Structure 1
Amino acid sequence: MNTSTKIAVVTGGSRGLGRNTALALSRKGIDVIVTYHSQKEQADAVVSEITAMGNRAAALQLDAGLVSSFEDFAARLTDVLQTQWNRTSFDFLINNAGFGINAPFASTTEEQFDSLMNVHFKGVYFLTQKLLPLLADQGGIVNVSTGLARFSLPGYSAYAAMKGAIEVLTRYMAKELGPRGIRVNAIAPGAIATDFGGGGLKASQEMREYIGSVTALGRAGEADDIGGVVASLCSDEMGWVNAQRIEASGGMFL
């Protein structure tokens, strides 16, 4: 076994940007542990794809919005690291798990707000905290934000506010984890045609054309536009990039 191989944990890695990120990491020679909420078959398919590339992978169930489950997850992660890699740590944490709710500010409910908060901010905060003992020194964290933290579209006030909080948290993580050599950055995708938020952009040609009209590169984004950017932040070439918000939007609303 090559004990020098790096290992990344990608939350929400069974589909969309998480899946694309997992595959991009694998292409860089990084082994991957993906988490999934309910789509086990899709997560297993990602594992199979990575294995076919010649790298190692595993899938673990995780409810990213249920803080009380994080201790059990950390125990299961510890076991997988030991049994499959003969290691007690991993190198990169990609906080990607999430979902979207489109609701006007005036009618967003407390239930909707709390569900977004639990996954997109509280979950990220406490899952990262719980996994810190397993995260290797000189490792890295990538938090997924959104272009909506810079520009505004109706219906995303709660979601974007959580992601704005993630961007602030990213800087604080970088400051406090710096003594361990752990870099922390945020990536902010623009409008991406995936199944996220019901897949409206993926299904609607009219919406894709609108996004293209307000984007400097003239089109909506695809998952393939994002995974490689995340993977690059886990490379030695990006080793001096820290505490940054990197927007990958093709130049939306410039």
Structure 2
Amino acid sequence: MSGTPATSPATPLQGKNALVTGGSRGIGRAIAERLARDGATVVFSYARDEAAAAEVTSRITAAGGQAVAVEAEFGTRGDAARLWAAYDAATGHAGVDIVVNNAGIGRSSDISALTEDEFDDVFAVNVRAPFFIAQGTLSRIRDHGRVINISSGAGRLALPELIAYGATKAALDNLTLNLAKVLGPRGITVNSVAPGIVDTDVNASWLRGNQEAQAHAASLAALGRVGEPEDIADVVAFLASTDGRWVTGRVVDATGGAGL
């Protein structure tokens, strides 16, 4: 991870180390591939699908990038510490420049059906894990680094069918505010990116192959279409770059104008 050439317009993140959680599919995959394309060495985590992680690594290296996949499942105590131990092992205890908290779970019943176990699960993965990943970030991230939390438009909308999920994303946005204040003196920016409906495996069961669902989802966005993982990855790439240096403590809406 040393001896890298000077940056160029094509590789604005050359020489940077990035950690992306949940990088084997969907939005996380698109983010890992985009940051690697911009020159960063990317360490990304996956929960269980080793084959999918290997495919992402292969795609990145085939395109001339650098990537390492580490197994890290979230939702149990000590998960953040295990992630950072895996990162340290993969990088030889190198510092990190960009941390993207992307891993999350979307299942959440409405208030009448939500169980305590379901509530605990969604908060453990979507809030507790990012919090303690952030705690580990404090001692590892270099000055002028970037922390980017993948939130959701559900964090600011009334969606009773996703009440616990939306609450986790609102909590994540508040974590973003506090981290921005804590890390600001070091020139480190911290922001949330809030997607809307995105065509990923998480939404595949009701969205793909269903023209009526596609049309409805598209109608919710001012831009008139369903989001793609790359739409979110490009926003993350901006915030990770030098161009995003003066944006911090913000929730960047990446819903395509949903709910206007």
> Per the shorter chain, which TM-score range?
over 0.9
Amino acid in structure 1 at the alignment position of 2:127: F
Matched, 1:167 2:166: no
The sequence identity of aligned pairs, in percent, is: 38
Amino acid in structure 1 at the alignment position of 2:28: G
Give the superposition deviation at 1:114.
0.4
Q: 1:26 aligns with which of 21, 36, 39?
A: 36
Matched, 1:207 2:209: no
Give the superposition deviation at 1:197.
5.3
Return the alpha-carbon distance in structure 2 between the equivalents of residues 212 and 76 of structure 1: 39
Return the alpha-carbon distance in structure 2 between the equivalents of residues 31 and 105 of structure 1: 42
Q: 146-155 or 164-173, which moves further after superposition?
A: 146-155
Aligned to 1:16: 26
Give the superposition deviation at 1:202.
3.1
Residue by residue, what CA displacement relative to the aligned partner does 1:119-150 show, whole Å, maximum 9, x if unpaired?
A: 00011101221232221121010001101112
Return the alpha-carbon distance in structure 2 between the equivalents of residues 76 and 90 of structure 1: 13
Amino acid in structure 2 at the alignment position of 1:101: R
Q: Indicate conservation of the 8 Å contact 1:96/1:143, yes or no.
A: yes
Amino acid in structure 1 at the alignment position of 2:4: N
Q: 126-135 or 54-63, which moves further after superposition?
A: 126-135
Return the alpha-carbon distance in structure 2 between the equivalents of residues 203 and 17 of structure 1: 20
Aligned to 1:119: 125
After the TM superposition, which parts of structure 1 deviate over 4 Å for at least 4 consecutive aligned residues? none
1:75-154 map, 5 Å: 75-82=85-92, 88-154=94-160
Which secondary structure state, in structure 2, belongs to the residue aligned with residue 44 of structure 1? Answer: helix
Residue by residue, what CA displacement relative to the aligned partner does 1:24-46 show, whole Å, maximum 9, x if unpaired?
A: 11221112111001011111111
Return the alpha-carbon distance in structure 1 between the equivalents of residues 224 and 167 of structure 2: 27
Which secondary structure state, in structure 1, belongs to the residue aligned with residue 142 of structure 2? Answer: strand
Which secondary structure state, in structure 1, belongs to the residue aligned with residue 143 of structure 2? Answer: strand
Return the alpha-carbon distance in structure 2 between the equivalents of residues 199 and 21 of structure 1: 23
Q: 181-190 or 49-58, which moves further after superposition?
A: 49-58
Q: Indicate conservation of the 8 Å contact 1:25/1:228, yes or no.
A: no
Residue by residue, what CA displacement relative to the aligned partner does 1:221-242 show, whole Å, maximum 9, x if unpaired?
A: 1112111111111000111111
Give the superposition deviation at 1:98.
0.9
Aligned to 1:54: 64
Return the alpha-carbon distance in structure 1 between the equivalents of residues 196 and 50 of structure 2: 27
Alignment: residue pair count: 250
Residue by residue, what CA displacement relative to the aligned partner does 1:1-41 show, whole Å, maximum 9, x if unpaired?
A: 31761111000000000001111112211121110010111
Matched, 1:6 2:8: no
Return the alpha-carbon distance in structure 2 between the equivalents of residues 29 and 122 of structure 1: 30
Return the alpha-carbon distance in structure 1 between the equivalents of residues 77 and 186 of structure 2: 25
> TM-score, normalised to structure 1's length?
0.93
Residue segments in structure 2 that go unaligned for 5+ positions in a row = 6-13
Matched, 1:190 2:190: no
Give the superposition deviation at 1:200.
2.3
Q: Indicate conservation of the 8 Å contact 1:99/1:197, yes or no.
A: no
Aligned to 2:246: 240
Distance 1:91 1:199, change over 3 A: farther
Q: Indicate conservation of the 8 Å contact 2:108/2:122, yes or no.
A: no
Return the alpha-carbon distance in structure 1 between the equivalents of residues 40 and 205 of structure 2: 29
> TM-score, normalised to structure 2's length?
0.91
Return the alpha-carbon distance in structure 1 between the equivalents of residues 207 and 112 of structure 2: 23
Give RMSD over aligned pairs: 1.6
Return the alpha-carbon distance in structure 1 between the equivalents of residues 177 and 170 of structure 2: 11
Residue by residue, what CA displacement relative to the aligned partner does 1:168-202 show, whole Å, maximum 9, x if unpaired?
A: 11000000111222110000001111112564223
Give the superposition deviation at 1:73.
2.8
